[in-house]
Amino acid sequence: MARFFEWLSNIINSAERSFLDLLGAIVPYFVPVIPAYLTFYHTRDLMDFPAWVAFVSAFVVEVLGITSVSTAIRFYRHNQKYKSSQNKAPFLLAISVYIFYIVVVMTVNVLLEVVDGTRDGTIILAIGLFSLLSFPSGVLVSIRSQYKEMLEEREEKRSGSKPAEKQAYKPKHASDYADKIIEALNTEWSKSSRVLSPKEITAQLKLDHEKSKGYVSTLTTKWKNEKNIGKITF
């Protein structure tokens, strides 16, 4: 009997975890419905937008909010992995997009209520808070996704290799090797005071010369300017 109850307890606990995980995955996508409705109501009733335009406005504004938050968090985590400025994602630009979203939502849902003057201040405050629900929903969507990626990376490190499908397709872009290109230039210059040609660099890094030579040449020119090295003929 004790084993039966233990088995039943494990089944219930497992089902509970799965159910909560399901809710955690679904609910963040329904949260923006509330601020979307508020935007729809205010654009239709206070700004006299046609109903279909108000609906589209509410949809695109909330999608802008949740995606800008999610993108900003992803960019922040990405930038923590890379020290080179050339590999950093435009985190501040993503934050700027979300700030613009906040301005739009607070103007439409709060400022118009203040101007209309038909609601109590407490209700307007509640409307303002509801209008910002895309922030926690966007954060939750992003951190859940990143947590899953983190577990996958940990599993890959533990197994010692990446999945076959990821190994099969990994295009080499010259911009991904910016740090190694600079390192190669510095190494050769310190040894022989000679500037490597783009062809030597692409050969050394095993890159497609025709596709990479433009970026390598541009980066080499920038490096020479920083080092005050005179121009040479390639």
- Residues 46 and 140 occupy one common structural domain: yes
| Domain count within the chain | 2
- Residues 146 and 54 occupy one common structural domain: yes
pLDDT tens for the chain, 234 residues: list them.
Answer: 777 667 777 787 778 778 877 777 788 788 888 889 999 999 999 899 999 999 999 999 988 888 888 888 888 888 887 777 777 888 888 889 889 989 999 999 999 889 888 888 899 999 989 988 878 887 877 777 777 777 777 777 777 655 544 445 455 677 888 888 888 888 888 888 888 888 888 888 888 888 888 888 888 888 888 888 765 444
Predicted pLDDT at 49: 92
- Residues 127 and 208 occupy one common structural domain: no
- Residues 153 and 179 occupy one common structural domain: no
In this prediction the pTM is 0.54
Range of the domain at 61: 31-159
Query: Is 19 part of any domain?
Result: no
Rounded-to-integer distance, Cα 201 and Cα 192, Å: 15
- Residues 197 and 221 occupy one common structural domain: yes
- Residues 112 and 183 occupy one common structural domain: no
- Residues 36 and 88 occupy one common structural domain: yes
Predicted pLDDT at 171: 56
Point out the domain boundary residue: 159, 184, 219.
Answer: 159
- Residues 153 and 185 occupy one common structural domain: no
Rounded-to-integer distance, Cα 176 and Cα 182, Å: 12
- Residues 109 and 187 occupy one common structural domain: no
- Residues 132 and 178 occupy one common structural domain: no
Point out the domain boundary residue: 132, 159, 186.
Answer: 159
**Contact yes or no for 146/77 (Cβ under 8 A):** yes
**Contact yes or no for 40/22 (Cβ under 8 A):** no
- Four-residue CA torsion sign, 199, 205, 206, 208: negative
Rounded-to-integer distance, Cα 59 and Cα 46, Å: 18
- Four-residue CA torsion sign, 133, 136, 139, 141: negative
